Amino acid sequence: MPQMTMVQAIQDALRLALREDARVMVLGEDVGLNGGVFRVTEGLQAEFGAERVCDTPLAENGIVGGAIGLALYGMKPVAEIQFVDFIYPAFDQIVSEMAKLRWRSAGQYSCPVIVRAPYGGGIKGGLYHSQSPEAYFCHTAGLTVVIPSTPSDAKGLLLAALEGDDPVIFLEPKRLYRTIKEDVVEGRFTTPIGRARIARAGEHLTLLAYGAMVPVSLDAAAEAGSRGWSAEVVDLRTLVPLDQDAVLASVRKTGRVVIVHEAPRTCGFGAELSALIAEKALTSLQAPVLRVTGYDTPFPYTLEHTYLPDAPRVLRAIEHVMQY
């Protein structure tokens, strides 16, 4: 079983899909000749040709609009947005067209487009290359929102998304692209969409996280363990559909919850998780639900390390809920 980084695992999934299904194609800015800004698609155009791995103009609205048209004619396009920060010109195509085609056609048409985009901070990208806008898409009915935290999940979730017939926003934590390497199964396998992963079992409190905040939460949980607190880390993996059963089972077991994400606090996905817990597991709580998040400011450059949640910040939240 080979060891892969997240970049290699995603590339492996795309290569498998392109080989197995002639309907699959990749399009985006510099995805072909240059292999993408992070080299995720490197070598794919040489293997499959420029008609299936297509360089496009720098026009996100056109990339997603073109992908929608291709999907309606039977293709399964994977559209890459270089950084999720640049997805906003395509926002209308995503939320007004892509997400609603099945509904507006009464099920006559599906729109199997996958929009891949690196998201989040941690690489000194500054305010235009570090944002975490996942909540915008979670709020839009008709979209599946996937955020892996490991190379194996990145491959398995992407292949699962490609098997579906509906649009998927596939956000890749670029901070983890090359910082984590693990054994990844060769060949085809899928990771179920809508099912969370218990990254670390625990008894005293629950840490809910996704993407690059999963390793941060695991580090905090390890430190909490040295203080005698057993923290369970739940990796959500997909935000929509959310694995409510896994979230609520963990909360009912531990009675204490800390939610971790790097997006801004106000209306971030942590607010949805907090509401879910309040509505369905309130009587299980032994302390208030705490959120450790980014701040309600544009993403900074020099203060990136202050903006992003880290293990010490998460540990302070753990101390608070354990001593409540």
Query: Which residue numbers are catalytic?
Result: 129
Give the residue carrying structure tokens 């390793």: 215
Residues in the chain: 324
Task: Give the residue from 235, 276, 269, 272 showing the smallest Cα distance to 252.
Answer: 276
C-alpha 33 chain-centroid distance? 26
C-alpha 65 chain-centroid distance? 22
Determine which helix (DSSP H) or strand (DSSP E) holds 69, and give its type and residue range: helix 60-72
Alpha-carbon gap, residue 312 to 110, rounded angstroms: 45
Strands 144-146, 238-240: pairing kind: antiparallel
Phi, psi (degrees; rounded to nearest 5) at 225: -60, -35
Alpha-carbon gap, residue 181 to 253, rounded angstroms: 31
Alpha-carbon gap, residue 154 to 162, rounded angstroms: 12
DSSP codes, 214-232? HHHHHHHHHHHHHTT--EE
Alpha-carbon gap, residue 143 to 166, rounded angstroms: 8
Residue pair 113/137 in contact by the 8 Å Cβ criterion: no
Alpha-carbon gap, residue 315 to 318, rounded angstroms: 5
